[in-house]
Each structure stands twice: as C-alpha cells, then as structure tokens.
Copies of this chain bind each other. A is one copy, B any other.
Amino acid sequence: MLLFPKEEFLTRMNYTKQKMLEYGVEVLLISNPSNMNYLTGYNAWSFYVHQILVVMIDEEQPIWIGREMDAHSAKVTTWLDTNHIISYPDEFVQSSIKHPMDFVANILEEIGQGNRKIGLEMDAFYFTAMCYERIVHGLPNAEFKNTSTLVNWVRVVKSDREIECMKKAGRILENAMKAAYDTADVGVRENDVAAAIYQAQISGTPDYGGDYTSIVPMIPTSENTASPHLTWTDRRYKYGDYLTIEIAGCYNRYHTPMARTMAIGEAPGKVEELAEVVVEGIETTIDAIKPGITAEEVEAVWSRSIAKRGFFKESRLGYSIGLSYPPDWGEHTISFRKGDRTLLQPNMTFHLMPGIWLDDYGVEITESIRITESGCELLADVPKDLFIKKPASYSGLSLVETPDNQVEFPKKADFSS
C-alpha cells in the first residue's frame, strides 16, 4: 500500500537529517501524523492515541512506536522493516497511570539513545504537555531541543509526485464545489449541501477515489458568514441568503483547498461589492506572485489593492499547504503576512486566502496555487465570480455537461437576472 517509491522516502529522510544537523539534534521524536506519513507512508486513523516516530541521525530507518492494534497498519502502509515497528500494550491507552511516553522512553534507553540530543515537536497537535513531562522524566540524561516544525520545513517544496497528488485533489475539489453549487437552493437544508460536498469529495472521479479532508466543510449562511469556521446547521435556505463555502479536495492525504461565496437568488449589494474587492485583490496578487519574492511582499500587494477600495484585512492572506491530517490542512510554516520573509521557490504550494470578514457578513474567494519557474499556477479551475444560484423554481437552466464527463460552472452572466 506504499504510495510513493521507497527512493522518495529515503530522499525525504536525508533532507530531514540535514536539518537535524542544522538544529543540532541526533534523535527526532515525531508525533505530527503528517510528518510520520511524510517520512514513512504511515496512514491510519490512530493519532487519537499517542504514537511516535523515532528518527536517528545515524540509522537509515526510523522506528515506529504505537498501539498494538495499529502495528499491523504500520506493516502494510510503510516501507519500514517489521523489526522497526514496536507496539505498546493496550493498558497504556488513555490510562491515568501508564503513559505511552513512559514506554517510549524505556525503548530509547534500551537502544542506547537515552543520553543524546533529542528534538521534540513541542507545538505539534498530538504532542501533549503530558507527553513532554513523561519523556523528560523518563530520559534524565538526554538534552532536549524544540524541533516543532523541522520536518514541516522539509515539506514546503513539493516533489513532482506530490504536485501530481495535489492536482488530482484539485479535480476532486472542482467536483465538490460544483456539488455545492448544484445542491444549494431555496428550501434545501445546509446539511444537505454538506452531504453533497462530502459525497463528491469521497467518490472523487471515475479514475481515482477521494480521501477525507483535514477540515470539514465550513458553509456558514448570511450573517454567520462573519464566523468563517462555523460548519453547518439543518436550517433551510431562503431566497436572498448567501453563504461562504470553504472546502478542499484530498487525494492520498494531499489537499487542494478553496473558498467561494454564493447567493441564493440574488446577493445583497454589500456582498456583491465586497466580492468585487476580493476578486480584484486576488487577481492582482496572483499576477504578482513569482519565485524570489517574499511571503510578506505577497501580502503587501493584496493590502494595497484592497486599501484603494477602503478595506483592510487583519488576518494572514494564506499559508503553505500539502500533506495533512486533521485538524488542519495548513503546513504551519510559511504565512503570507507582515514579517514573513520566506523567499518563494518553485513547487511551493499555498492556499491564497483572501477572505474579508466584517461585523455581520464576510466574503471568501480563494485559490490554491503552485509556484512555477516564472509565476504561479492555479491547482483547480473554478470561476472566481460570486456565484448566483437561480432557484430551481425560477428557471429550467441546467449546467453544461461536456462529453468527457467534465463539468463546467456557469459563468455569472448566465445567471444574473
């Protein structure tokens, strides 16, 4: 079930060891599931119990340590030899007495790693305060450093195989966005739109299936568009409602996210106006993005564009994306915001996130992009307009189906009344 050739994993391991030298650590303890997957292929919904990947600077293979019932998943999804897969008994699971990191510390002592310089992912989602306390207690002769995003920084430039996964995720995303557009209507419930999005995300395309996304569909309606991270309710849409749709396509854990804003019947003037500002801003920004400029310069282009129209966005304009597990599809490395001087390079990938949220409404029209040799390309192809959905009871219009089973979104002009 290994999804990349072993050579690609060995290359990733070497880049990681190079960074370990930079940071001055001989052993790396990894609990971020995205980093575990990146280095070994490990892929199972088992990160709700503690698990660790041990990378040693002088060993070719890392060691996977996790729950006994998950060791079999490690055998079938990774390139590791079975003697590099170690499991702890079930009595360590969610116990107030026995902690998995006590077990991990014992293993590290046994294999002679207990007195080395050890890097910890101090701010990774599943490396809890208790994990830290037990590891430090169990390894009194080790020296610890914070290597929270060490592997994340290795991940920022994608291989061509990774880009291919993200482009496939882009096709899935296009289908999911179309499913949202097709389903939302007067009298339809918010959850029915979410269900249609899920159906499209997971069924994928006729050629390949979709994977679960690290964030669930976020589709707040009307005044709730001011709260971008609300999910859905079972309220029915009314004529004149508008919604933001932030979703992704996912293929083999690689994400291509996007947001669009849509109105049922017609949009309030303030939403139309804000959408124009956002679309002008994102188009100006995309034209300016190229290798060699910094992340903060990207944000500055956007800020100048919307400032001309009297707007200001406090939150960051986007972030690095790729491989990920819940609860986030962001990579926690590069952000498009003031102070981030990372230089853009080819095959970096970002969610360019121009959402503007005001007191009682918001508009999001966003793109996933890849930095190319000379500029950037979009990872999915969906019209950037504010979507206007003509309610079914108002028209017999149907979307255009092209012969090869690809779908086309209607242009805004087709639907404005």
Q: Which residues of A contact B (CB under 8 A)?
A: 1, 43-48, 68-70, 72-73, 76-77, 89-91, 93-96, 99, 120, 122-133, 146, 148-149, 189-192, 194-196, 198-199, 201-204, 208-212, 215-216, 218, 224, 226-234, 314-316, 319, 326-328, 330, 332, 335, 337, 339, 357
| A211 cross-chain contacts in B, Cβ below 8 A | 231
Specify which of B48, B203, B327, B337 is in contact with A330 (CB 8 Å cutoff).
B48
**Chain B nearest Cβ from A168, distance in angstroms:** 11
Decide if A234 touches B70 in the complex (CB within 8 Å).
no
Chain A interface secondary structure, helix, strand, loop or mixed? loop
| A209 cross-chain contacts in B, Cβ below 8 A | 189-192, 232-234
Q: What is the bound-complex CA distance between A229 and B47, given in angstroms? A: 10
Q: What is the bound-complex CA distance between A200 and B382, given in angstroms? A: 27
Most buried by B among A46, A126, A327: A327
Decide if B96 touches A149 in the complex (CB within 8 Å).
yes
| A227 cross-chain contacts in B, Cβ below 8 A | 44, 69-70, 72-73, 76
**Chain B nearest Cβ from A193, distance in angstroms:** 9
Which residue of chain B is the closest to A327 with respect to CB atoms? B48
Decide if B195 touches A90 in the complex (CB within 8 Å).
no
Which residue of chain B is the closest to A95 with respect to CB atoms? B335
Decide if B215 touches A191 in the complex (CB within 8 Å).
no
**Chain B nearest Cβ from A65, distance in angstroms:** 16
Decide if A68 touches B218 in the complex (CB within 8 Å).
no
Specify which of B68, B77, B231, B357 is in contact with A72 (CB 8 Å cutoff).
B357
| A125 cross-chain contacts in B, Cβ below 8 A | 48, 125-126, 128
**Selected A-B contacts with CB under 8 Å, 8 pairs:** A45-B215, A46-B229, A48-B328, A90-B316, A94-B330, A130-B146, A194-B212, A208-B234
Decide if A337 touches B203 in the complex (CB within 8 Å).
no
Which residue of chain B is the closest to A231 with respect to CB atoms? B45
| A73 cross-chain contacts in B, Cβ below 8 A | 227, 229-230
Specify which of B95, B130, B332 is in contact with A94 (CB 8 Å cutoff).
B332
Given contacts A48-B330, A69-B229, contact A335 B94 (CB under 8 A): yes
